[in-house]
Structure 1
Amino acid sequence: MSSLFARPTTRSGAVEVISRKRTLRASHSAWLLSCRHVKRYQTASGSQLPSANGYPYGPGISPPLKGIKILDLTRVLAGPTATMLLADLGADVIKVEEITRGDDTRSWNPPSAPLADDAPTASTHLPPESAYFLAVNRNKRSITVNFKTPEGLKIIRELVKRSDILVENFVSGKLASLGLGWEDSKKINERLIYASITGYGQTGPYREAAGYDVIIEAEAGLMHITGEPDRPPCKVGVAATDIATGLYAHGAIMAGLLSRQQTGKGVWIDCNLFETQIAGLANIASNYLIAGKEASRHGTAHPSVVPYQVFPCKEGFLMIGAGNNKQFKLLAEKVLEDPSLATDPKFIDNNARVKNRTELVKIITNKLMEHNRDYWLERFTGLGIPFGPINNIQQTFEHPQASWGAPYNATLTVEVEHPRAGKIKLAAPAVSYNGQKMPVTRPPPWLSEHTEEVLEELGYSAEETAALRAKGIVSVTRCHTGEADHMGTADDVCVTWKRRCDGSTAGTE
């Protein structure tokens, strides 16, 4: 088993908390030191955690989706998130990319991973790998195919015939116009699970509109409730609607596989950003639907619970979530050292605290401004009051829960060998089986890395592949700066992103 999955030694049924000191920023050190009394980690039953020497799924047990083939016709974030999660479970994901530039996110940089000195010569014409693309495309293979040719469509149809799952995020009706919609695809493969991810779904006045996370955030209520009450609406810091849609699609696809086991037939799954975001409004939607209550912005505060928000300290910020009377009493007595707050009629219960929110927030803020964040972190530790520091990204990965498997940070990150970028770190899959993280068996692919490999699996000879490449049906794998000096004939399309050698070709858009 790779050292990426190694854990600290165990004894008495518990994993020892690493006690060695670390060199960290001064503003962060007190918080880390406050964790020195954290109890040893145990399972719920108190038994020993699974050994790192075992297999993630148990000895001799294959990954859940081993043998499942997925045709990935998605790009950007929602679709690639869904297919990455399925790839993590062992599925063979073939990502089909636009022939001249690939997935849009390949050009979303900086930042990018620095190119390794020994990068494959077949990829030297490509730009560096963008960090955005690397984030959501692990465990996949990449091919490039020109959809707007009969030969290219033939390749895609052959892949449809061999696939268990097709995932696409084209505008509604686009693939159907190419003869690759659900009705056409199920005639090719009646067992196919066909998952469409769109902006607004397959019906309604917006069905042909493209979906963009930030636009959906605006149209579907999320941006209206995000930000400070006296400031303009804000977007969420990451593309949360895209990610949530990918999660919805991933779960629906897994259910589709179970349905196929019972019926022997595939199913068409439709997920879209608009409906996902409305469903994600949760209690905010219910407040309106049940009580007619319009939502408003509260910054980091909770509309129905007080105190439940970020507070400034003399230096830094602190999130406090005293969600019930017991926690508020502890906050008043043990942290703020003002027991009278817990008995004051204005703050006696949550209803009173919500009604007198402004006054209570001011009292707490004034007290917290007397000391820096690390002082208050020490005061909160061990009391049972929900609290936490506002961390930047570096501090997030230095969090004790993130780094207890140091030096590899084995719980939340994984190091992989990328053929073009060398060793890179990625966020690890967020799910464990039998106490083991699901392995990253493939680094994110470089553009068209597996085109020849996949065509060979489809039965194409080297000569047939060369002919397809010469006609611009699939991408070339090498390009030089010399005049007409690239693989194939002088009529080949040199696949670069921001330059072309002697030609161009249409892609999937």
Structure 2
Amino acid sequence: MRPLAGIRVLDLTRVVSGPFCTMLLGDLGAEIIKIEEPEHGDDSRAFGPPFTGGESAYFLSVNRNKRSCAINLKKPQGVELVRKLAMRCDVVIDNFRPGTTDRLGLAYADLRRDNPALISCAITGFGAEGVDANRPGYDLIIQGESGIMDITGDPHGLPTKIGTSIADLVTGQFASQAILAALVERARTGQGKHVDIAMLDCMASLLTFNAGIYFTTGQSPKRRGNAHPTIAPYETFRAADGWLNIGVANDKFWQLFCQVLERPDLGADPRYARASERVSRRGELVPIIADIIAAQPRRYWIAALTRAGVPCGDIRSVAEVCEAEQLTGRGMIVEMAHPTAGTVKNILSPFRFGGDDGGDGDAARHLAAPLLGEHTAAVLAEHLDIGPYEVRALEALGVIRCHQAETAHG
């Protein structure tokens, strides 16, 4: 039994931040009822190419372990179905703009009045209040607004977004953490509460030492490419046949590093003895190191530095990571059967608990992302006691959508 077995989540989210949050909860064992717009479903179902079996690879990557229930929230009957489902859930989560749930007739206060133990979570771009509250919040926009892009990229080039949807993903992680904390509190008090998660808040919190530099000096940190503002050498170097990362994070590693470079003179040089001195003299020190590293291939340096205990690493492609023995050996790559896409592979959440096998046996506990409306009839039957006749009537009225395979099976 997984940690969140028995917890039911009503998922009104779409695209990335909310779906990533609910996928994390689903990986931990929660039942995730994903409410989707009946005609097109989650926006990310259309994000592509690539598609496989008619399904977007993007959608498949952040929606495993969920049941799709297609309900039209533009219909009063659809809103009433969702309201009734919320009465039978532990958590309801959305990533609408502020005020949308009120306009739909699904205000948090009303839902919690019907179900005092309900935990509600709203993910927005800028928060529920403030001058920017009503602005739409997409990952690219938040990366820029949060200061992250201003400190990312070549110092002589453009501000650069991080290569994954970091604002969405970090927000989903923070939202799942807050929901778990609210569940723990509810276990003590019996009462639910509302959680307000803003993407801007989440990304700004990642500034940590960069914000600390500003608060201490009054100066805003600038882009340094792959160099670290307070550690040197701690960056990317070109070897004879490609790139690698080297992280000389303290004075002990510096001495070991100089031994590997066969430059004991650098290790003995008082100008570079302490970390702060290496940072202040990085302009003269890094070119010396770069010339040495360029003389040998990556494998040489990674082997030599690893033997010496100096942190280093290759710069792998996504393909290399997905096939890496370290991940596959720990059961981090799961294969799941999908009705139209065949075998779907995902990288799992990094949770490990005592007793988990972490290997092939773990695959049986995970379900591939659902087809649109795949579980509509089943969810309504299980949780609202709505039978096949009423399901067909609701579908005829455009209130719900059932996947054809489910309808035929029913």
TM over 0.5: yes
| Alpha-carbon distance between aligned partners in 2 of 1:441 and 1:239, rounded to the nearest angstrom | 23
Aligned amino acid, residue 103 of structure 1: D
Which position in structure 1 is the counterpart of 2:307? 382
TM-score norm. by structure 2 comes to 0.94
Matched, 1:363 2:288: yes
Find the structure with the greater CA-based Rg: 1
Helix, strand or coil at the partner of 1:320 = strand
Question: Which residues in structure 2 correspond to 1:423-502 (within 5 Å)?
Answer: 423-436=343-356, 437=358, 440-457=365-382, 458-478=384-404
Partners of 1:430 and 1:476 in 2: how far apart?
A: 33
Whole-angstrom distance in 1 between the partners of 2:343 and 2:203: 36
Query: Which residues of 2 match residues 140-219 of structure 1 at below 5 A?
Result: 140-219=66-145
Confirm or deny: 8 A CA contact 1:412 1:428 kept in the other structure.
yes
- 1:398 Cα deviation (Å)? 3.9
Please point out which of 244, 248, 273 is paired with 1:322.
248
Equivalent residue for 1:84, pick from 9, 13, 23 = 23
Whole-angstrom CA distance in 2 between matches of 1:90 and 1:411: 17
In the TM superposition, residue 290 of structure 1 has moved relative to its aligned partner by: 3.1
Counterpart among 66, 74, 83 of residue 13 in structure 2: 74
Q: Give the counterpart of 1:96 among 35, 56, 71.
A: 35
Measure, in 1, the Cα distance between the counterparts of 2:323 and 2:395: 47
Give the Cα separation in 2 of the matches to 1:164 and 1:432: 24
Distance verdict in 2 for CA 1:415–1:476, change over 3 Å: closer
Aligned with residue 50 of structure 2, among 90, 108, 111: 111
1:301-340 paired onto structure 2 within 5 Å? 301-334=227-260, 336-340=261-265
- Provide the rounded CA distance (Å) in 1 between the counterparts of 2:323 and 2:31: 33
Distance 2:19 2:99 in 1: 20
Task: Report if the CA contact (8 A) 1:157-1:188 is conserved.
Answer: no
Aligned to 2:337: 417
- Preserved CA contact (<8 Å) 1:176 1:184: no
Greater RCO (Cα-Cα under 8 Å, separation 6 or more): 1
Secondary structure at the aligned position of 2:87 is classed as helix
SS of residue in 2 equivalent to 1:84: helix
Q: After TM superposition, where is structure 1 displaced by more than 2 Å over at least 4 residues in a row?
A: 397-400, 437-441, 476-479
> What's the counterpart of residue 203 of structure 2?
277
Does 2:278 match 1:353?
yes
Of 298-307 and 421-430, more deviation after overlay is shown by 421-430
Q: Which of 287, 305, 319 matches 2:213?
A: 287
- CA shift, 1:364, in A, is 1.1
- 1:10 corresponds to: none
Distance 1:444 1:398 in 2: 22
Matched residue of 2:307: which SS? coil
Q: In the alignment, does 2:182 pair up with 1:256?
A: yes
Equivalent residues of 1:321, 1:387 under 8 A apart: yes
Q: Distance in 2 between matches of 1:397 and 1:239?
A: 18
8 Å CA contact retained: 1:78, 1:243: yes
| Count of residues in correspondence between the two structures | 401
1:94: Cα distance to partner? 0.2
User: Quick check: 171-180 or 371-380, which moved more?
Assistant: 371-380
Give, in angstroms, the shift of residue 136 of structure 1: 1.0
State the identity as a percent.
40
Q: How big is the shift at 1:329? A: 1.3
Task: Report the 3-state secondary structure (helix = DSSP H, G, I; strand = E; otherwise coil) of the residue aligned with 1:269.
Answer: strand
Distance 1:331 1:250 in 2: 41
Q: Which moved more, 1:450-459 or 1:267-276?
A: 450-459
Native 8 Å contact 1:66 1:90 kept in 2: yes
Aligned match of 1:124: none
Q: Residue 150 of structure 2: which of 205, 224, 233 is its match?
A: 224
TM-score (norm 1): 0.76
Deviations 1:62-91 (CA, angstroms, capped at 9, x unpaired): 222111111000011111111111111111
Equivalent residue letter for 2:76: P
Q: Deviations over 1:390-432 (max 9, x none)?
A: 11112223434224x3xxxx52201111121222221122111
Distance in 2 (CA, whole Å) between partners of 1:261 and 1:402 is 35
Question: 2:375 touches 2:402 (CA, 8 Å); kept in 1?
Answer: no
Deviation by residue 1:293-349 (Cα, 9 ceiling, x = unmatched)? 311101111000000000011111110000111211111122x11111112233222
SS of the equivalent of 1:442 reads: coil
Which AA in structure 2 matches 1:140?
K
The amino acid of 1:434's aligned partner reads G
- Which segments of 5 or more consecutive residues in structure 2 lack a partner in the other structure? none
Label 1:245 to 1:305 Cα distance change in 2 as closer, same or farther (>3 A).
same
CA distance in 2, matches of 1:237, 1:78: 16
Could you tell me which residue of structure 2 aligns to residue 503 of structure 1?
none
Alpha carbons of structure 1 residues 473 and 391: separation in structure 2 relative to 1, 3 Å = same
1:314–1:372: 8 Å Cα contact kept in structure 2?
yes
- What is the rounded CA distance, in whole Å, between the counterparts of 1:262 and 1:435 in structure 2? 27
More helix by share: 2
CA displacement at 1:112 relative to structure 2? 2.2
Deviates more, 1:349-358 or 1:273-282: 349-358
Q: C-alpha offsets along residues 102-125 of structure 1, whole Å, 9 cap, x if unaligned?
A: 111111111223x2xxxxxxxxxx
**In 1, Cα distance between equivalents of 2:209 and 2:278:** 20
**Runs of 5+ unmatched residues, structure 1:** 1-61, 116-127, 480-485, 488-509
- Output the CA distance in 2 between the equivalents of 1:368 and 1:247: 38
RMSD, aligned CA: 1.7
* Contact 1:227/1:234 (<8 A) preserved: yes
Are 1:63 and 2:19 counterparts? no
CA contact (8 A) 2:153 2:159 kept: yes
Aligned to 1:55: none
